[in-house]
Amino acid sequence: MRLPLLCGGFAAAFVAGVLVTKIVPHAEAQSAPPAMAPQIINVLTMTDEEIGPLIGSTDLRSRPLVVTEFGTVGVQSGNVARHFHAEAHEIQLILDGAGSFWLGDREVQVRAGDLIIIPKGTAHAGSRATTGRFRALAIKLPPQRAGDTVPVP
């Protein structure tokens, strides 16, 4: 008599567990990227205040524009110290400003219209803007996870 009750209790607990997982949202679902919506964003007319506050003790402002599980697109204004991303590739389209930019082990000159391809593990940074303020459209593939900015001396 106890064996059928015990088996029935396990079966009921299993069914209850399955039902709860269908009803209660998973924790990772809360951090999932929002659905994309059709829109037009003019990044050339955005002010630094619209891009966002300075990040930490840097001269960089950043605003995500598109976030998916495959990649992100954001606009950045300013400069950061040399660093690399161990897990994310980065592509930057310089929208405004001109000057020197660290790419790997060399300092190169960039200006509006330049597309910079930065494979993961490649040191990079804006260095000195000679005209204007660097502003770039930054694409990260896959999305950069928290903590994936490694400083380079």
What are the residue ranges spanned by the domains of the chain? Answer: 48-151
CA dist 101 and 62 (Å) reads: 18
User: What percentage of the chain has pLDDT greater than the value 70?
Assistant: 77
| 16 or 59, higher pLDDT | 59
pTM over 0.85: no
Amino acid letter for position 10: F
Average pLDDT across the chain, whole number? 81
CATH of domain 48-151: 2.60.120.10
Q: Work out the pLDDT band at 72, boundaries 50, 70, 90.
A: very high
Contacts of 66 (CB under 8 A, 6+ apart): 36, 72, 73, 74
Q: Note the pLDDT tens digit of each residue in 82-121.
A: 999 999 999 999 999 999 999 999 999 999 999 999 999 9
